[in-house]
Structure 1
Amino acid sequence: MEQDMAGAARVVALGNDGDGIAETLAGRIFVPGAIPGDTVQPGPVQATHAVLERVITPSPDRVTPPCALFGQCGGCRVQQMALPALLAWKAGRVTEALQRAGFATIPTPATVQVAPQERRRVDLAFRREGRRIVLGLHRRRGDVVDMTACTLLDPTLFALLAPLRDMLHSLPGVHAGGDLQINLLDSGPDLLITMDGTPDANDRRILAQFSKAHGIPRISLGGTPPETLALNGPVFHHFDGVRVTPPPGAFLQPARRGEDAIRAAVLAALPTKGLKAGIIELYAGCGTLSFALATHAKVLAYEGDRAALACLKQASGGTRVLPALRDLNRQPVMAAELAKAAAVVLDPPHAGAGAQMAQIVAGKPRHVIYVSCNPTALQRDLTPLQQLGYRLERLTVIDQFLWSTEVEAVCVLKLPGTGKNHRR
C-alpha cells in the first residue's frame, strides 16, 4: 500500500542494508540514499520504504559520491557518506551485535579501513547486449551495469575489464552471458569464467591467446571441479612468506591491507603461555592465517573444501601446519579435542560456525579467537560463549569492503580460570 508523506523527516540511523531510517509522523521508514543527520523530503511510502525526493539539510557526514556509477551499480550502497563516519557505523554494528549477545563490557574497538582502489577480488556478471558485452555488477535488484568506472578495484584489475569485454564477445561458447571471478594473486590475475555454452577448440585458442597477451597465468572454467582452459605460467600466492598455489576461485581476502590487519589482530591475541598444546584452526582455507599461526605453535588446520585443503597440504611441508579435511558442519571437531588446545581460531563462512559452535561451547577452550564477516552470525555464535562466562578481551573492526554494509571483526574471548577450574 502506498502512503503519501508530507513534510520533512529527520534521518536518525542507517539500516543494515545501508538505507537511511527516518522518523515521520507515521513512524520510522527506510529511505535509500539518506544518511544519519540528513533532513529529507521522502516520497510516497510503499510498505516500509520511501524514495528520497530531495535532501533538505545535508548531514555533516554527507559527501559527493566519488564514482560516476553510484546509484546505478550495485557495488556501493553508501558512497554519499564520509569514510570515517562509515567506519564508525560499521564498528557500531559489531558492538551492537556483541551487546545483543549479552556482553556487558565491550572494549573500545581498534579500527582499520583500507583505501580506495585496493580491492583485489571481484565477482562480475557479463551479458550480451547487441554487438557488445556488458561486464560489471548487478544494480540493486536489477540488470548488470557496465563497469566503466570503479573507485574500489585495484587499477590492474580495472585495466583488464576493457580487453575482457572484447575477448568475451569473441567467445563462441558465450551465448547470452555468464559470470567471471577474478583474484589478483602474487603471480597475476587469476580468472574463473562460467559461460552458458560449452567451450570448444576456438574458445580455448582465444583464451590461450588472451592469457598470453595480458600476462594472465591461468584461466579456468567454472564447474565441479573447475577446468583449466589456459595456463600461461606458474600460479602462486604468498601467506606469511609461504608460497601456495590457490585453486581456481579460491577465497582471498578482498584487500591485502585488510588481510594483514586480520592476521595481526589474531596473532596479537594468542596466549603467551601454554602454546605447546598447539592451536586448532577451523575453516583454514588455503592458509591465510595458518602459516602465521605456525610461527608461534603447532597448528592443526581443519578445512572442508578439498581443493583448498590440497593447496594447504601442498604448501605445509617444513612448517608446523598439520592440515586435515573436515566438513565442520557435518563432522565438527569434538569438544574433547578443542578443550586441549592452547587456543581455538576460527574464521567461519558468512552463515557462521553452525554445528561446530556447539562443540566449542561444550569443550570450553580457554582462548577463542573468532574472525567474523557477519554481525548477525557473530551475535548468534557468541551468545552461548557469553552465557558460559567468556569475557571479550579485545575487539578489532576492519572495513575492507568500502562503501558497502559489509564489515569484518576479530573478537578475542577468554574463559576466566585455569586448569580444571574453568571446565566445570
Structure 2
Amino acid sequence: MAHAIRVVALGNDGDGIAQTPEGRIFVSGTVPGDEIVLAAHDGTRGTLDHVVIPGADRVPAPCHLFGTCGGCRIQDMALRALLDWKTGRVVESLQHVGFDAIPAPQAHQVSPHGRRRVDLAFRRVGKQIMLGLHRRRGDVVDMRECTLLDPTLFALLTPLRALLHSLPAVHAGGDIQINLLDSGPDLLITMDGTPDANDRRILAQFGKAHGIPRISLQGRPPETLALTGPVFHHFDDVRVVPPPGAFLQPARAGEAFIKAAVLAGLPRKGLKAGIIELYAGCGTLSFALAEHAKVHAYEGDRAALACLKQASGGTRVLPALRDLNRQPVMATDLAKAAAIVLDPPHAGAGAQIAQIVAGKPPRIIYVSCNPVALQRDLTPLRHAGYQLDSVTVIDQFLWSAEVESVCVLTLPGAHRRNRR
C-alpha cells in the first residue's frame, strides 16, 4: 500500500511541494497541509492519486473546469491563504535583496469575475468551434464557464463561437485577444486564412449587433477589419484611444490598488522638480501622476506612445519614445527628478537600473509583476544605499501564481526637500 506524504509548501509556479526522504517532489493540484498519495512520480514531479487528509486551506474549486482548463492553477486553495502566500513570495524576494527592515506589507485582492483582459485560442473541431484556454501542455479547452472573466466578456463567448464558425477566413483556428474598454469589447484576432470583403462584412455586422466598436487583425501593425463606433477608454478623467491589443491591467480594482499605492508613495514636498515615469504605456499611471507634478513619460512601444501623446494635450504629461533597454534614460536626467516611477515588463528593468543607481534620485516607486525580477532589480539599489519605505501586494491574477507589488524606496540624505 502506498504511503501518504505531506505537502509542505507551494512552489513559485503554484504546484505543491512534498518533502520525501529522496528529496522534494512537485505535485500539481495540492495545497500546503495536504496528506496525499501519489499515482506516480519521476523523482522530481509527481501525479496526485488522491488526498488522504486535506490541508486546512483546501477548498472545493469554484469552477468545474479546474484541473482541465489552463487558466487557473490554484483554485483549490482559499483565497485568503492564496493572498498570504503571494505576499510571502514578495517578502521573501525583498529579504533576499538584503534590506535591513521590511515594512509590513499592505495586501489587496480583487474579486472574482473582474477580469477585463483575456487571450483565448480557438479551434475547429468537427462542426464546432472550441474557444477557451489551453490545458497545461495540451489542446484548447472550451470555456463554458469561468470564475475569472467579467460577465460582459463571458457573455460574448457564445456568439463569438458562432461568428468564428461562420468566417470563411478561419480554417483550423487561431487566437483572439479581448480588452474590455469603456467603449465596449475590443477584439484582436489571429486567423489562419486571409479575410476578404465577405469576412469584413460578417465582422461589421457582428460588431454592431454586440456593441463591439472595433475588430482588428493581428499584424505589424494590426489592421482594422471592422470599425462600427468610437473606441475609447479613460485613465482618470482623460479619454484615450488604445491601440488594438493594448496593455491594460487585468482588473479595474487591481489597477486602482496599484495607482493608490503609487500616489501614496510620492513625496509630499519638492515635486516641482517633476516625475520621470518609465514604461508609461498608454497612460495607466501618467495622468494620475500629472495631478501632482509634471511627468516626463517614457515608453518604447510606438502604438502605446502615440495613444499617450494624443491624449496628453492640456495635461502635465510630456510623452517621449524610448527603448529603455537599448537607450535608457541617463543618470544625469534621473538625478534631477523628485521621483522615478517605473512599471517594467515581466523581465524587469534591465539596463535602466544601472542608470537609476548612478543617478541616485531621492525616491523610486517600483511597480512589479515578477518577484524574481524585483529581487534582481532592487539588489543594486539596496547596495547603493536605498531603504525600503513601503510595500504593497496586489493579487489581481486570482487563482494563479502571478503577483503584483509596489515598492517605495528612498535614499537617506538625498535632496531632503523631497523627503516626506
TM range, smaller chain: over 0.9
Match of 1:214 in 2: 210
Partner of 2:196: 200
Secondary structure, in 3 states, of the residue corresponding to 1:127?
A: strand
Q: Secondary structure at the match of 2:189?
A: strand
Residues 1:156 and 2:152 are matched in the alignment:
yes
Provide the residue aligned with 1:319 in structure 2. Answer: 315
Secondary structure of the residue aligned to 1:327 is coil
Indicate the SS of the match to 1:96.
helix
Matching residue of 1:241:
237
Whether the 8 Å contact between 2:40 and 2:48 is mirrored in structure 1 is: no
State the 1:361 CA deviation. 1.0
Residues 119-198 of structure 1 aligned to structure 2 (within 5 Å): 119-198=115-194
Q: Distance in 2 between matches of 1:338 and 1:260?
A: 27
Could you tell me the TM-score, scaled by structure 2's length?
A: 0.98
- 2-side partners of 1:169 and 1:376: how far apart? 42
1:70 matches 2:70: no
RMSD: 1.3
Residue 37, structure 1, aligned to residue 36, structure 2? no
Q: Is the aligned partner of 1:60 residue 2:56? A: yes
Query: Cα deviations across residues 365-387 of structure 1 (Å, max 9, x unaligned)?
Result: 11000000001100100000011
Q: What's the counterpart of residue 81 of structure 1?
A: 77
Q: Distance in 2 between matches of 1:206 and 1:293?
A: 42
Q: 1:295 aligns with which of 291, 297, 301?
A: 291
Which whole-Å CA distance do the structure 1 matches of 2:155 and 2:38 have between them? 39
Q: Deviations over 1:241-272 (max 9, x none)?
A: 10000000000000000000000000000001
Per the alignment, residue 336 of structure 1 pairs with: 332
Counterpart residue type for residue 190 of structure 1: D
Q: Distance in 2 between matches of 1:259 and 1:158?
A: 21
Measure the CA separation in 2 of the matches of 1:198 and 1:131.
21
Amino acid in structure 2 at the alignment position of 1:317: G
Out of 177-186 and 21-30, give the one that drifted further. Answer: 21-30
C-alpha change, 1:421 and 1:364, in structure 2 (3 Å) is: farther
Deviation of the 1:143 alpha carbon: 0.7
**Structure 1 consecutive aligned stretches of length 4 or more whose deviation exceeds 3 Å:** 419-422
Which string of whole-angstrom CA distances, capped at 9 and with x for unpartnered residues, describes residues 100-141 of structure 1?
111231111101100000000000001111111100000011
Check 1:421–1:160 CA distance in 2 against 1; reply closer, same or farther (3 A cut). Answer: closer
In structure 2, how many angstroms separate the alpha carbons of the residues matched to 1:269 and 1:115? 25
Asked if the contact 2:361/2:414 (under 8 Å) is kept, the reply is no
Read off the aligned partner of 2:405 and give its amino acid letter. Answer: A
2:86 is aligned to 90
Alignment partner of 1:18 out of 14, 17, 40: 14
**361, 368, 371: which one pairs with 2:357?**
361
SS of equivalent to 2:95: helix
TM (norm. structure 1) is 0.97
Helix, strand or coil for the counterpart of 1:108?
A: coil
Distance 1:274 1:98, change over 3 A: same
Contact 2:120 / 2:132 at 8 angstroms: preserved in 1?
yes
Letter of the structure 1 residue corresponding to residue 181 of structure 2: L
Counterpart mapping for 1:368-383 below 5 A:
368-383=364-379
What is residue 101 of structure 2 aligned with on the other side?
105
Which moved further from structure 2: 25-34 or 362-371? Answer: 25-34
**Partner of residue 265 from structure 1, selected from 261, 267, 270:** 261
Distance in 1 (alpha carbons) for counterparts of 2:417 and 2:284 = 34
Match of 1:230 in 2: 226
Local SS of the residue matching 1:228:
strand
Q: Secondary structure at the match of 1:257?
A: helix
In structure 1, stretches of 5+ residues that fail to align are: none
Once residues 236 and 351 of structure 2 are traced to their aligned partners in structure 1, the CA distance between those partners, rounded to angstroms, is 30
Per mean C-alpha deviation after superposition, the further-off stretch among 23-32 and 402-411 is: 23-32
1:350 counterpart residue number: 346
* Distance of 1:303 and 1:286 partners within structure 2: 8
Between the aligned partners of 1:34 and 1:71, the Cα distance in structure 2 is 11
Corresponding residue number in structure 2 for 1:393: 389
Task: Summarize deviations over 1:378-399 as a string: whole Å, max 9, x none.
Answer: 0100000011111110000000
Query: Contact conserved, 2:33 with 2:56, CA < 8 A, in 1?
Result: yes
CA apart distance, 1:420: 9.7
Amino acid in the other structure paired with 1:363: G
Aligned to 2:402: 406
Q: Report if the CA contact (8 A) 2:179-2:245 is conserved.
A: yes
Please tell me whether the aligned partners of residues 34 and 52 of structure 2 are also in contact (alpha carbons under 8 angstroms): yes
Deviations 1:256-313 (A, max 9, x none): 0000000000000000111000000000000000000000000000000010000000
**Alpha carbons 2:9, 2:18 under 8 Å: kept:** yes
Write the distance in 2 (CA, Å) between the matches of 1:131 and 1:418.
67
- Structure 2 Cα separation of the partners of residues 164 and 38 of structure 1: 40
Amino acid at match of 1:362: A
Distance (whole Å) between structure 2 residues aligned to residue 72 and residue 266 of structure 1 = 37
